[in-house]
């Protein structure tokens, strides 16, 4: 008989701070209603929390003990999974507005990528937004819904001016979508270019362009090669290497006002995508402190 797996608390490991004392607020958005290829990302937040208990509280990468940092895990936003995308976005927006008004840093875990537009609506509109995504997601509408996750970056660009957005690691787009993004001067860097030229020089160039502006970072886990992160809704070959995201964190950390990790779908792997997402959350918080 197989031994029963040990149980762990249902919050992010070592996030022991109360909301009132916390500087970082982790919150989950278990939502996958518009997923176009396969559902399951609503299981992402809890799966990432579970994976987080794998790690030592001391992180050899940063030499920081995560349990000493003022991190609160709010849990999942309630009553969200059956909402229409528009109402989900509103609820996420209200929540992250509260976090920002309380001078705390929102750390979102998804859930599908459309969740990110709700967070972006709550940040100052002169914030620079750096997005990691295999997909351009620049459709005006998809399946009769302008809030479909295939339209995420288009929706973000309704809020944030094009010159303040960059998408990294792109390797999939429909022809029209690609041409519209080109026409609108949306700045995106394909994964092939990053692989050839290296993340460090790519992200340093972007940082130069950003200057001292505040930065919001959104990570769609599908930007990582499916060999490392197969647990996602729409996997796409020829992706980034997991550590490359840490390099981006290193260069952008001083200006970060929040970040998210979206599109983890634990139904399609053996836990490795959730593990990676949990590591990014830890690393991002440790490096910002």
The pair phi, psi for residue 232, each rounded to 5°, is -155, 160
What is the side-by-side order of every strand in the sheet holding 215-220? 71-76, 24-29, 105-110, 256-262, 215-220, 128-132, 165-170, 187-190
Smallest distance, Mn ion to C-beta of residue 14, A: 29
5 vs 19: CA distance, rounded Å: 30
Quickly count: other Cβ atoms within 10 Å of residue 204's Cβ: 13
Instruction: Identify which of residues 71 and 153 has a Cβ nearer to Mn ion in the complex.
Output: 153
50 vs 246: CA distance, rounded Å: 21
Instruction: Identify which of residues 220 and 286 has a Cβ nearer to Mn ion in the complex.
Output: 220
Which residues of the chain form contacts with Mn ion (CB under 5 A)?
Answer: 133-135, 220, 222
Q: Helices 272-288 and 44-52 sit at what angle, rounded to 10 degrees?
A: 70
Smallest distance, Mn ion to C-beta of residue 70, A: 31
CB-neighbour burial class of residue 46 (10 A; exposed 0-12, middle 13-18, buried 19+) = middle
Smallest distance, Mn ion to C-beta of residue 17, A: 31
Smallest distance, Mn ion to C-beta of residue 136, A: 9
Instruction: Identify which of residues 172 and 255 has a Cβ nearer to Mn ion in the complex.
Output: 172
Number of H helices and E strands in the chain, helices first, is 9, 10
Instruction: Identify which of residues 73 and 169 has a Cβ nearer to Mn ion in the complex.
Output: 169
Instruction: Identify which of residues 34 and 255 has a Cβ nearer to Mn ion in the complex.
Output: 34
Smallest distance, Mn ion to C-beta of residue 15, A: 26
């Amino acid at each position: 008989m197989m031994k029963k797996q040990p149980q762990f608390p249902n919050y992010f490991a070592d996030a022991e701070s109360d909301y009132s004392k916390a500087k970082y607020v982790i919150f989950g958005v278990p939502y996958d209603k518009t997923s176009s290829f396969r559902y399951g990302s609503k299981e992402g937040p809890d799966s990432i929390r579970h994976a987080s208990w794998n790690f030592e509280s001391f992180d050899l990468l940063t030499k920081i003990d995560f349990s000493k940092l003022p991190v609160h895990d709010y849990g999942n936003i309630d009553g969200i999974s059956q909402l229409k995308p528009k109402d989900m976005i509103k609820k996420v927006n209200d929540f992250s507005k509260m976090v920002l008004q309380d001078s705390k840093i929102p750390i979102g875990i998804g859930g599908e990528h459309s969740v990110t537009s709700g967070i972006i609506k709550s940040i100052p509109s002169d914030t620079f937004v750096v997005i990691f995504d295999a997909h351009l997601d620049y459709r005006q509408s998809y399946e009769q819904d302008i809030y479909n996750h295939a339209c995420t970056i288009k929706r973000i660009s309704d809020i944030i001016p094009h010159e303040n957005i960059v998408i990294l690691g792109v390797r999939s787009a429909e022809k029209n979508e690609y041409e519209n993004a080109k026409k609108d001067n949306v700045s995106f860097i394909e994964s092939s270019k990053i692989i050839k030229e290296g993340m460090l020089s790519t992200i340093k160039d972007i940082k130069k362009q950003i200057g001292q502006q505040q930065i919001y970072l959104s990570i769609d886990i599908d930007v990582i090669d499916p060999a490392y992160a197969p647990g996602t809704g729409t996997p796409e070959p020829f992706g980034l290497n997991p550590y490359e995201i840490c390099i981006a964190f290193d260069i952008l950390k001083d200006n970060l006002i929040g970040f998210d990790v979206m599109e983890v779908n634990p139904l399609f792997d053996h836990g490795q995508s959730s593990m990676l997402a949990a590591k990014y959350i830890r690393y991002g918080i440790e490096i910002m402190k």
